[in-house]
Structure 1
Amino acid sequence: MTSPAAPPPDGGVVPAPPVVDDRPAGPDAADPAVALIAALPKVLLHDHLDGGLRPATIVELAAEVGHELPTTDPEALGRWFVESADSGSLERYLETFEHTVAVMQTVDALRRVAREAALDLAADGVVYAESRYAPEQHQRAGLTLEQVVDAVQQGFAEGVAEAAAQGRTIRVGTILSAMRQADRADEIAALAIARRGDGVVGFDIAGPEEGFPPSQHASAFRALAEAHVPATVHAGEGSGLESVSQALHVAQACRIGHGARLVEDIATDDLGDRLGPLAQWVRDRRVPLELCPSSNLQTGIAATVAEHPVTRLKRLGFKVTVNTDNRLQSGTTLSRELTLLVQEAGWTLDDLQDVAVTAAAYAFAHHDDRDALIDTVIRPAYAAARGGRHRA
């Protein structure tokens, strides 16, 4: 978790937030639950730091380091990211990160990006967030891994403090990711172990799933398990059921990053839905899924939010959470993701509370902190939203 720090020296001026996709969300915009979403407390478990930059910040930082962008107009750049990511290919989607990573190579840039991320999430009503990034990707200008982590932690601390000064409460834990196509997982796992309790709450592997299974990084996951550091693994997005199986049994993942393709192990016939052995294992053991509807549409998981597996998996009793993945590339916020589910998939206030409670319950925070978040923040807010009728 981050801890409060002094407000930044720029007077606390908050630039414009990222461009948000303003395409019509669905036909039921008048649903009463929609009006409540912005004010309800939210918990976010899957959000990439290098996928949530403000377009204006990218333009400014790129000018400082001489990095060429597709356009220097912030609004046009925001649209470019969404359009480029909206390709139906995970590999093409990942290419957009060259521009964001390129401007995140100095201590000042990393601090700024982390600070603004905390502010933007708090402005969206997120009260607890886990932000992930790969320290190894921010060493082009000579920073050490420790310097990268220190800069990000300082930025988050500044953002948390500034949000508090604005009357918004947010806690941020960081998840250190190793790029699965590289060979530094042991090093990043050791870093996560060393920085546990100092803002770092867990470990992840990210990047292209196909051809880079968790088994390639088995020694890193063994070290994490022996040190009692939790892991979440990207699986079941770009690759199928085998990636989920390895995340569970090789990586000993506590959560599955995405996991949408788990529906490939669920058959439907005249008798209803029948779970295959892997899906049954995930549901029986209450392994939470970090589902990201808009992002998954961009990478070809589903054609519409209504068809996205998140609703089916939730109805079948899986532990489902809703996340943003990359707010810049998807032009989204957590409020927008939840709004889309209400408008296009028929979600109710009860559904929104369920995913908030599930996300809080499976966060990589301590048990007492999770319980306090659920009992003193989430449930009371939903009770108030229902006009004081508390529902357990």
Structure 2
Amino acid sequence: MNSPELPKTALTQDAIRKAPKVVLHEHLDGGLRPQTIIEIADEIGHPLPAHEPEALKNWFFEAADSGTLERYLETFAHTVAVMQRADDCFRVASEAAQDLAADGVVYAELRYAPEQQLLAGLSLEEVVEATLAGFEEGQRLAAAAGSPITVRTLLCGMRHADRTKEIAELAVAYRDKGVVGFDIAGGEIGNPAERHVEAFDYLRRENMPFTIHAGESCGPESIWGAVAVCGANRIGHGVQLIKDIDLTGDEAKLSNLAHYIRDRRIALEVAPSSNLQTEGAESIETHPIKALYDLGFRVTVNNDNRLQSRTSVSREFQILSETFGWGWAEVKRCTENAMKASFLHHPERRRILAEVIRPAYAALESTGAE
């Protein structure tokens, strides 16, 4: 396969930050500001492993950098703990929208599991409404600061629990009120998506789009279940699909599953730094994203969890530029991939592409800014 010519120098994070970007895979409870965690934890009496923002930020990264998805997920006990009251749901959502906008994100789909936010007595509906109000406030403040962003949300059912049908019904109830889709989250190992086929059948009957975490910790069989059995419109991560592609010869040989995903333009929500932490990939140099991109899969680049991975989407693109020589053409293609694969209605997708994304990248490519 032919690789793009390497730029003379890698794109800088500052330059990438100024370019419009789209994030499809971002966990709301994985992007809190450390200071916010400290302040809310103090109010509710929740013990933390560190009480100074920088120290807490480092703790989250180091604890999540253990090499397993299960240990990575343990860090969320602290973030979820401070998202139990309506005001806290509102604050976290507002700050997330503002922080993403400050990184140059113009459209984002943030996901969270409302069933985990009921410990202080909120109902599922109260969690969703407080969070949606927070996103609205964050969008307003971001626009006032000169960085407009459109934020929508996906509701997650926990794959190790039994409330996915209920959460799917909740997502449908808030359709066109800010919720645009559904997902299942949590440990992939031992919790196949097929266990929740009732929820996915319901969503298909209601014409509600959904994505499924698959191919992060488990192999292609997990992706097959998500796509063939459950009918996923997108795949969260999906990097283990590379195991179904033979790259040893002059021409790649794809399995029927790999062909189907590429042919049907089923987007892969890839989060490189997170994949390294959970051992979805051994190193950034051997990360499957480059091969999948070069083969024409609908690859998108995402944060997953900005706090645990100590990252941003600008940083993710910078790493890919430094490692694989990606320039503006690759950043643009992944951004357009993400916008096309978003769960927004088609006219809104077209508008953001035509009015925001394409003009900005045309200017960047013409000037050769780095």
TM over 0.5: yes
Alpha-carbon distance between aligned partners in 1 of 2:186 and 2:218, rounded to the nearest angstrom: 11
Q: 2:13·2:315 contact (CA, 8 Å) conserved in 1?
A: no
Is the counterpart of residue 31 in structure 1 residue 5 in structure 2?
A: no
Q: Decide which of 260, 275, 292 is 1:281's aligned counterpart.
A: 260
1:157 alignment counterpart:
136
- Structure 1 residue 388: deviation in Å? 6.4
- Corresponding position of 2:106: 127
Q: Write the deviation string for residues 319-341 of structure 1: whole angstroms up to 9, x where unpaired.
A: 00000000000000010001000
Show the counterpart of 1:326. 305
Task: Report deviation, 1:124.
Answer: 0.3
Query: For 1:327, what is the secondary structure of its paired residue?
Result: coil
Q: Does residue 23 of structure 2 align to residue 44 of structure 1? A: yes
1:238 aligned partner: 217
Residue 380 (structure 1) aligns with: 359
Corresponding residue number in structure 2 for 1:15:
none
Matches of 1:65 and 1:92, distance apart in 2: 25
2:58 maps to what in 1?
79
Distance in 2 (CA, whole Å) between partners of 1:35 and 1:334 is 12
Pick closer, same or farther for the CA change 1:223–1:32 going to 2, 3 Å: closer
- What is the aligned partner in structure 2 of residue 344 from structure 1? 323
- Distance in 2 (alpha carbons) for counterparts of 1:316 and 1:32: 23
Cα-to-partner distance string for 1:264-283 (whole Å, 9 max, x where unaligned): 10112233321112111111
Q: CA contact under 8 A between 1:306 and 1:341: conserved in structure 2?
A: no
Instruction: Please tell me the residue identity of whatever aligns with 2:186.
Output: G
**Contact 2:23 2:302 (C-alpha < 8 Å) held by counterparts:** yes
Partner in structure 2 of residue 167 of structure 1: 146
Tell me what 1:194 maps to. 173
TM-score, scaled to structure 1: 0.90
Residue 253 of structure 1 aligns with which residue?
232
Please give the residue correspondences for 1:140-155 in structure 2 after superposition, counting only pairs within 5 Å: 140-155=119-134
| Residues 277-286 or 315-324, more deviating | 277-286
Give aligned-pair identity as a percent: 54
Q: 2:334 aligns with which of 350, 355, 358?
A: 355
1:166: Cα distance to partner? 0.8
Amino acid at match of 2:331: L
- Retained in 1: the 8 A contact 2:10–2:326? no
TM-score by length of 2: 0.95
Tell me how far 1:34 sits from its aligned partner.
Answer: 5.0
Secondary structure class of the residue paired with 1:31: coil
Q: Report deviation, 1:306.
A: 2.3
RMSD value over aligned CA atoms? 1.4
Tell me how far 1:211 sits from its aligned partner: 1.1
Pairwise CA distance, 1:32: 4.7
Amino acid at match of 1:157: E
Question: Which whole-Å deviations, capped at 9, do the CAs of 1:263-318 have from their partners, x for residues lacking one?
Answer: 01011223332111211111111111000000000001223222111111000110
- Counterpart amino acid of residue 89 in structure 2: L
The CA distance in 1 between the partners of 2:55 and 2:11, in whole Å, is 33
- Aligned residue type for 2:271: C
What SS does the corresponding residue of 1:387 show, helix, strand or coil?
helix
2:109 is aligned with what amino acid? Answer: E
